[in-house]
Structure 1
Amino acid sequence: MMDTMLEGWTDTEQAVAREAFDRAYTRAVQQLVAQVRAKADELEDAETVWQLHDYLSIERHTIEGRFDFRLDGILFVFASLVKDSLLQLDELNGLEAEKLAKIVAMSRF
């Protein structure tokens, strides 16, 4: 019996989607680490430490909300990641043309 969430997604497409998703997540975390290192170099007092804490809290919420691997909404996630240069369209090769066209269209907004 096929899970309704997976309908319309071949095994190959699921594998391509998962790999692209994981790659984009790794890039987002790498960017965050670089930003945190830069901010840590600017720490001078308790206030700047608390600002870094607040920044990390916001980024954690953003990343956890953004990186949600559910196939029923993954095209929106991919469009956002493409728009923000965390994912390249060629990394989604293997998805059917209609899915790619939707990602391209949504990434323009």
Structure 2
Amino acid sequence: MNMVDAVLDGWTEIEQGIARTAFDRAYTRSIDQLAASVRAKSEALSSAETIWELHDFLSIQRHTIEGSFDFRPEGILFVFARLVKDDLLSIDELDGLGIDKLSKITAMARF
């Protein structure tokens, strides 16, 4: 996972704390969803083929999650927008960020 402990330039310490907390919550939700999906899929394991399909599914999910959760400053607003769009985070959980940042996140989450 690319959860780099970066300092977000132009962000107050309070904003950075809000961002980190929201980011971590979304990551936890993503992992919880994956675990639930794996539990459901594991109940259907009945052959070597279904086992390999589960392996492939997990490989894809790992790649997707690791690529999605990146706390680097240059892309964090895009990350938050995608997390809002994917229902892993609500815009309310970012309350306390500057209005300019919230506006950008909200606008990008529409697309």
TM-score with structure 2 setting the length: 0.92
Runs of 4+ in 1 over 6 A off after TM superposition: none
Equivalent runs, 1:61-76 vs 2, <5 Å: 61-76=63-78
Per the alignment, residue 106 of structure 2 pairs with 104
* Contact 2:9–2:73 (8 Å) recurs in 1: no
Q: Structure 2, unaligned stretches of length 5 or more?
A: 1-6
For 1:66, the aligned partner's letter is: S
TM-score with structure 1 setting the length: 0.94
Q: Structure 1, unaligned stretches of length 5 or more?
A: none
Does the residue aligned with 1:72 lie in a helix, a strand or coil? helix
- 1:7 deviates by 2.0
For 1:41, the aligned partner's letter is: E
Per the alignment, residue 12 of structure 1 pairs with 14
Alpha-carbon RMSD across the aligned residues, in angstroms, is 0.8
Match of 1:34 among 14, 19, 36: 36
Per the alignment, residue 53 of structure 2 pairs with 51
Percent of pairs identical after alignment? 67
